[in-house]
């Protein structure tokens, strides 16, 4: 049996999703004439209580567009030291926007208002970069799927208002956060200036992210998307997948969360595992004990047909997703339990 737990990006469209894609009405989205893309953008904007939205090929491009929108070269954004925009977007913050990152060591990828306040550069002190943007990530990738306390987000919003800073959300896995919290999409839309929302992770689409914001912001985003090469022609086939996922896949995320928690419970009993980070959503991050080689563990699991990924410094990651079946899950739990008993 082959089980891929490297990421929730490994999912493939279901037959029902493929059928919805094949039946999509399409046009040329570069001219804003694709009815399926237009419908998705309107749907997501309405869902989050925003004026407008724009469909992109990837979450990296939505994030990079948002950063470009909110900053000028030589300025600085504030984010957690685990942030995807800093670690996993190819240095795009500096390459595309010419800005630097002021990194904060938060709690599993989550930063708070007090930490942010401590690192905002005085706007009249021209020796340091001007702080213009705060970027949050929810859920946090390197933080093991941790979810922000919304009250803390409200405090950060207030701080940004006091200091005339924009606030962006990398919501690649916000759909997961929404399933385990009391907040609604409109609650998030009311707080953030821009939100990046991904469809190719837990929702199971092959491609696609959406950036939401005001009419003025999205009008500017359209130009930046063009510059970055993100204009697509008959993109309605991809947008139809996202619309299908919004209607049919969101509640399924809870199954992914349950499976992640059950994997974590088995790992906690392992004699070679030093610690397992709290599991709130669909990401399991665990550390091996000193002397245990992470690559040896990965190889041993691969021999059993189970794929996972190393994060470095003795940490490993498993990510559950909609293509990870109950049969595969039982196999993973059984395999981990047997490995524990054979140690």
Domain count, the chain: 2
Q: Are residues 273 and 148 in the same domain?
A: no
Q: Are residues 229 and 282 in the same domain?
A: no
pLDDT for the residue numbered 313:
78
Q: Are residues 174 and 269 in the same domain?
A: no
Domain coverage including residue 315: 3-8+252-342
Bridge-based pairing of strands 76-80 and 194-198 is: unpaired
Chunked mean pLDDT (size 10), the chain, 343 residues: 97 97 97 97 98 98 98 98 97 98 98 98 95 98 97 98 98 98 97 98 97 98 97 97 98 97 96 95 95 91 97 91 98 90 54
Beta-carbon contacts of residue 80 (< 8 Å; ≥ 6 apart): 103, 104, 105, 106, 109, 110, 111, 136, 137, 140, 143
What is the spatial distance between Cα 168 and Cα 65, in angstroms, rounded to a whole number? 11
Q: Are residues 48 and 149 in the same domain?
A: yes
Question: Contact 266/333 with Cβ under 8 angstroms?
Answer: yes
Q: Are residues 198 and 290 in the same domain?
A: no
Question: Contact 168/194 with Cβ under 8 angstroms?
Answer: yes
Q: Are residues 43 and 189 in the same domain?
A: yes
Q: For the whole model, what pTM was predicted?
A: 0.96
Q: Are residues 238 and 207 in the same domain?
A: yes
Which CATH number do you get for residue 335? 3.90.1150.10
Question: Contact 218/54 with Cβ under 8 angstroms?
Answer: yes
Beta-carbon contacts of residue 212 (< 8 Å; ≥ 6 apart): 44, 45, 48, 50, 52, 53, 54, 189, 194, 195, 197, 218
Which CATH number do you get for residue 124? 3.40.640.10
Does residue 120 sit in helix, strand or coil? Answer: coil
Q: Are residues 187 and 262 in the same domain?
A: no
Q: Are residues 264 and 231 in the same domain?
A: no
Q: Are residues 244 and 256 in the same domain?
A: no
Q: Are residues 280 and 158 in the same domain?
A: no
Question: Contact 71/164 with Cβ under 8 angstroms?
Answer: no
88-140 pLDDT tens trace:
999 999 999 999 999 999 999 999 999 999 999 999 999 999 999 999 999 99
Beta-carbon contacts of residue 17 (< 8 Å; ≥ 6 apart): 204, 205, 241, 244, 245
End-of-domain residue from the set 232, 248, 264: 248
DSSP classification of residue 146: B
What is the spatial distance between Cα 163 and Cα 206, in angstroms, rounded to a whole number? 39
Cα-Cα end-to-end distance for the chain: 22
Q: Are residues 243 and 140 in the same domain?
A: yes
Q: Which sign does the torsion angle of CA 153, 115, 198, 189 carry?
A: positive
What is the spatial distance between Cα 58 and Cα 54, in angstroms, rounded to a whole number? 11
The encoded tokens of residue 175 equal 């759909």
E-strand stretches of the chain: 3-4, 52-56, 76-80, 100-104, 131-137, 166-171, 194-198, 209-213, 273-276, 283-288, 306-307, 309-312, 315-319
Closest by CA position to 206, among listed 58, 20, 12, 7: 12
Does residue 316 sit in helix, strand or coil? Answer: strand
End-of-domain residue from the set 248, 283, 318: 248
What is the spatial distance between Cα 193 and Cα 214, in angstroms, rounded to a whole number? 8
pLDDT for the residue numbered 314:
79
Beta-carbon contacts of residue 36 (< 8 Å; ≥ 6 apart): 24, 25, 26, 235, 236, 237, 239, 240, 243
End-of-domain residue from the set 193, 227, 248: 248
């Amino acid at each position: 049996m082959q089980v891929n737990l490297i990421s929730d990006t490994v999912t493939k469209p279901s037959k029902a999703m493929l059928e919805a894609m094949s039946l999509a009405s399409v046009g040329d989205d570069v001219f804003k004439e694709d009815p399926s893309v237009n419908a998705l953008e309107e749907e997501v904007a309405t869902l989050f209580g925003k004026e407008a939205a724009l469909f992109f090929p990837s979450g990296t491009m939505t994030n990079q567009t948002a950063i470009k929108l909110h900053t000028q070269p030589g300025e600085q954004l504030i984010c957690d030291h685990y942030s995807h925009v800093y670690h996993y977007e190819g240095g795009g913050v500096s390459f595309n926007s010419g800005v630097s990152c002021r990194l904060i060591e938060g709690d599993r990828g989550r930063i708070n208002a007090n930490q942010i306040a401590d690192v905002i550069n005085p706007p009249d002190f021209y020796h340091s970069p001007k702080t213009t943007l705060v970027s949050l990530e929810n859920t946090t990738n390197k933080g093991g799927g941790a979810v922000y306390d919304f009250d803390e987000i409200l405090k950060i919003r207030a701080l940004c208002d006091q200091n005339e800073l924009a606030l962006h959300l990398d919501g690649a896995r916000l759909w997961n956060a929404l399933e385990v919290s009391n907040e609604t999409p409109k609650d998030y839309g009311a707080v953030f200036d821009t939100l990046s929302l991904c469809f190719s992770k837990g929702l199971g689409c092959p491609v696609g992210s959406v950036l939401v914001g005001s009419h003025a912001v999205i009008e500017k985003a359209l130009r930046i998307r063009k510059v970055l090469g993100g204009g697509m022609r008959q993109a309605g086939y991809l947008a139809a997948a996202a619309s299908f996922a919004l209607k049919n896949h969101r509640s399924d995320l809870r199954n992914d969360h349950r499976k992640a928690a059950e994997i974590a419970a088995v790992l906690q009993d392992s004699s070679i595992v030093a610690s397992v980070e709290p599991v709130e959503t669909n990401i399991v991050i665990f550390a091996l004990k000193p002397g245990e080689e992470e690559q040896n563990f990965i190889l041993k699991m691969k021999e059993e047909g189970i794929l996972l990924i190393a994060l470095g410094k003795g940490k490993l990651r498993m990510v559950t997703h909609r293509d990870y079946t109950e049969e595969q899950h039982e196999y993973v739990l059984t395999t981990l339990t047997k490995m524990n008993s054979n140690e």
